[in-house]
Amino acid sequence: MTPPPPKKKKTTCSDKIWGLMLTCRESCIFSGDLEDLIQAVAKVFEEKCTLAEGQTLSVSCPTNTNIYSKSQKAWQRLKDNGEIQTLAITEGSSQVQVGKYFLEDIPSEGMLQVRMINLQVEDSGLYRCVILGPGDPIILFSPVRLVVTKSSLGPPASDDYPCQTSVQNPTLPPITTKLRPRPRTVTQLIPTPTNSLSSSGFTVTPTNVTRVTRALGISIVIPVACGLLSKTLVFIGLFAITQRSFAS
Amino acid sequence: MSRRCALLVWALLALLGLGVAQKDCGPIVSRQEWKALASRCSQRLRQPVRYVVVSHTAGSVCGTPASCQQQARNVQYYHAQQLGWCDVGYNFLIGEDGLVYEGRGWNTVGAHSGATWNPISIGISFMGNYMDRVPPARALSAAQSLLACGAAQGYLTPNYEVKGHRDVQQTLSPGNQLYKIIQQWPHYRGHTPAPPPRRIQQWVGLEEQ
């Protein structure tokens, strides 16, 4: 396995299989702005939901049957100026309604159900389920990026899964990811780190869908390719032997 | 035999060797193979599924394909005939023989974790009682391969989350020993969201999340 050529920018991540992981990692780290990277890291953990006015947002935030059954849970909105607005809190009771916000805490099932009815365009923004405690709140599920559109998207869906599950990270160049978040792996594979970026040896947890799908694909493609290669070699060998025996 | 004929024969043999169907998450012991009764279930799971719930049957252990097939039938008998469900409750069962047994499969809503979780999760169950023992490595790796393949095939989201049965229901399942093991699995997320790795936090100056 030859080491990848250094500073190979803009490498498409669909090169030869052996070089793929290495060249992709190297070039993918270096391409793209620092700011894009920060934005991507922040955004990579959001769950995007797009709904029309009048529809209902339903979010299921897993808690845990054993640990937080007695704790207070809340639905909060994170404003652009950094302010956190608490919209509803489960005050020891299992169900709470504050205006358009419904919270239903089901400790026996380890789930907090949140509903926002009659959505308006002004409701668009970033929300989250939290467990309130003495210290910092514990964030459940992922922050939800809600986008409410004016136009009706047809009849309201039976809202089990109103949110898209893909992570909002469309145009950013792929960030180094690994299936398992073992931070050491990247530094091991990159031979000559020419940038402090790569030497920090970070990995992004696998919430970047396209990257992880690709990494998963790679982890299946490589054994398949090895199988293909060995079988081809066997075939060629046997063919050569056959030729010799028929030629004589 | 002519030269061309020999060439063709070798080509066909090579192709046979190459031709491994990559569509399924094999090897899984199919329902026909373990002689399951027909399913009467009709509720389809919405895909891709985000959660996987790991449980144990708390019943007998089986160590060979023959005994595990029998055990799978026993579990189905209990669920479908005695409890009156439409089929065995789990989507997949894992035997100590290291094989995965097809239950309701990827596409049908299971009956393993209550009304809140069944429609949003895949339930896999290790056949046995794992309060005081651990499943053998081949069973654990069979389960992990199943899930990895499920994610690769699109049945599970790439960022699927593994939960212990006791995280989502009031139960001892999957048993203390097995629960400890799955908490070490990379996709396990029992309570809080996994924060980004430490290095990113420091490097980009994020405090939390």
Element (H, E) at A136: none
pLDDT at residue A180 greater than cutoff 70: no
Contacts of B3 in chain A (CB under 8 A): 243, 246
pLDDT at residue A7 greater than cutoff 60: no
Alpha helices in A125-208 (DSSP H): 184-189, 196-199
Q: Which residues pair with B44 in a beta bridge?
A: B108
How far is the CA of A219 from the CAs of A3, A227, B35, B117, in angstroms?
Answer: 19, 13, 33, 30
At A87, which CATH number? 2.60.40.10
**What is the percent of chain B with per-residue pLDDT over 90, rounded to a whole number?**
77
pLDDT of residue A195: 42
Q: Tell me which range, A178-192, A224-238, B23-37, B79-93, is most confidently predicted by mean pLDDT.
A: B79-93
pLDDT of residue B88: 96
- Count how many domains chain A has: 1
Q: Are A143 and A46 in contact (CB under 8 A)?
A: yes
Angle at B47 between CA B43 and CA B52, to 5 degrees: 90
In a domain, A73, yes or no: yes
In a domain, A244, yes or no: no
In a domain, A199, yes or no: no
In a domain, A21, yes or no: no
Distance, CA of B111 to CA of B79 (rounded, Å): 9
pLDDT at residue B86 greater than cutoff 90: yes
pLDDT tens string A47-76: 888 888 998 999 999 998 878 888 899 999
Residues A136, B22: C-beta atoms closer than 8 Å: no
- In this prediction, residues B81-110 reach a mean pLDDT of 96
- Cβ-nearest to B166 among A38, A65, A138: A65
pLDDT at residue A142 greater than cutoff 60: yes
- Asked if A235 is an interface residue toward chain B (Cβ–Cβ < 8 A), one would say yes
In a domain, A26, yes or no: no
Angle at B114 between CA B109 and CA B115, to 5 degrees: 70
Distance, CA of B99 to CA of B103 (rounded, Å): 13
- Among chain A residues, the shortest Cα distance to B1 is held by A246
Number of continuous H segments (helices) and E segments (strands) in chain B: 7, 6
* Burial grade of A78 (CB within 10 A; 0-12, 13-18, 19 or more): middle
Q: Which domains does chain B show, CATH number per domain?
A: 28-34+46-183 (3.40.80.10)
Least confident of A162-166, B29-33, B171-175: A162-166
Q: Which domain holds residue A66?
A: 52-149
In a domain, A80, yes or no: yes
Residues B206, A45: C-beta atoms closer than 8 Å: no
- In this prediction, residues A26-47 reach a mean pLDDT of 56
Quick one: tokens of B96? 């100590």
Question: From the CA of A161, how many Å to the nearest CA of chain B?
Answer: 8
Q: What residues have CB less than 8 Å from A195, skipping those under 6 apart?
A: A29, A30
Going edge to edge, which strands form the sheet with A57-62? Answer: A57-62, A111-116, A101-106, A95-98
DSSP string, A34-84: HHHHHHHHHHTT-EEEEEETT--EEEEEE--TTTSTTSEEEEEEE-TTS-E
- Cβ-nearest to B200 among A67, A180, A204: A204
Residues A212, B158: C-beta atoms closer than 8 Å: yes
Residues B1, A234: C-beta atoms closer than 8 Å: no
pLDDT of residue A155: 47
Considering only residues A56 and A154, tell me which one the structure prediction assigns the higher pLDDT. Answer: A56
In a domain, A182, yes or no: no
pLDDT of residue A15: 52
In a domain, A225, yes or no: no
Query: Is B55 in a helix, a strand, or coil?
Result: strand
- Asked if A39 is an interface residue toward chain B (Cβ–Cβ < 8 A), one would say no
Query: HEC string of B62-104?
Result: CCCHHHHHHHHHHHHHHHHHHCCCCCCCCCEEECCCCCEEECC
Question: From the CA of A109, how many Å to the nearest CA of chain B?
Answer: 5
State the CB neighbour count (10 A cutoff) for residue A141.
21
Contacts of A113 in chain B (CB under 8 A): 116
Q: Which residues pair with A146 in a beta bridge?
A: A49, A125
